[in-house]
Amino acid sequence: AKDEGGSEHCQYEPTLHVHAEERRKLEASLRHALERDEMSLNFQPVVDANDETVVSFEALVRWNSEEHGFVGPDKFIPLAEDTRLIIPIGTWVMEQACIEACNWPSHVRVAVNVSGEQLIEPDFASTVIGALSKSGLEANRLEIEVTESIFLRDANVARAALEQVIALGCTVALDDFGTGYSSLGYLRKLSFSTIKVDRSFVQGAVQGSAESLAIINAVVAMAESLEMSTTAEGVENAEEAEFIRKLGCKKIQGYYFGRPMPAHDARQIFVREGLRRA
């Protein structure tokens, strides 16, 4: 009889209850993920659209939790952002990505995703300086990827932080372009070096959507006039790659050219490219 009240209460909002409980458990585990060495980085190649050689790798964080198994970034990054755990996790990602990039040929760059919450921390630029000096990576080999969402809140603080890292010699890419809150105004205010066209437009255009096609054409034209580069995301086969190349995107990323892979496998790509050239 003692339990009845509890279970009855649960019946009203069972999913909410379960979600809150699961979230609390995930958060507790996430709090210890770094010290338990449960985080790792995968690297996904970005290729030159014309000659298909690797120009950079995007670092993508992975969490293999003792309690929860493999948890995808789409699940734990938002949780990390809500709990400020993104600050230590983001610092770790930045350092590890720079350290790994030192093992690649010097023309190959590394791209690191940075959340708005990280960007508006007063010592964001120091974190970048720290990662560069700790690893010995030249600043011009590091690209910071941010999404449009950073401009929704504390836009001036976010912009100032990006200007600081640009002053160091790093570049900034605008990620998932077109999916979020879109205002072209900030494209003028900040010198992005690359616009990443979201996978949804790439898929849409290939499947015959006139709207997606028009958007990609407009982004490519705009990027060119602003002297920015474009990267198409989520290209999964040869047909899509050819289609995107013809639209004038400068760089391509997607499963067709390589899935996100462990650091060791990423290094092997250069061995293969070297053999192909020789």
**Residues at the site binding ligand C2E, with contacts judged by CB under 6 A:** 44, 60-61, 72-74, 77, 90, 93, 113-115, 175-176, 234-236, 253-255, 260
Binding partner at 180 among ligand C2E, Ca ion, none, C-beta below 5 to 8 Å by kind: none
Question: Contacts by 21-27 with C-beta closer than 8 Å and gap 24+?
Answer: 23/79, 25/67, 25/68, 26/68, 26/71, 26/75, 26/76, 26/79, 27/79, 27/83, 27/85
Identify any residues that bridge with 175 across adjacent strands, giving them in sequence order: 147
Distance in Å, CB of 111 to Ca ion, minimum = 7
List, in order, residues 6 or more apart from 221 with CB less than 8 Å away.
Answer: none
Distance in Å, CB of 163 to Ca ion, minimum = 20
**Interaction with Ca ion in 145-164: which residues (CB under 5 A)?**
145
Identify any residues that bridge with 244 across adjacent strands, giving them in sequence order: none
H/E stretch holding 111: strand 109-113
Per-residue x/- marks for Ca ion, 188-227, CB under 5 A? ----------------------------------------
Distance in Å, CB of 233 to Ca ion, minimum = 5
113 lies in the binding site for Ca ion (CB under 5 A): yes
Distance in Å, CB of 136 to ligand C2E, minimum = 21
- Give the span between the Cα atoms of 158 and 150, in whole angstroms: 7
Instruction: Closer to Ca ion by CB, 95 or 175: give it.
Output: 175
Instruction: Closer to Ca ion by CB, 29 or 124: give it.
Output: 124
176 lies in the binding site for Ca ion (CB under 5 A): yes
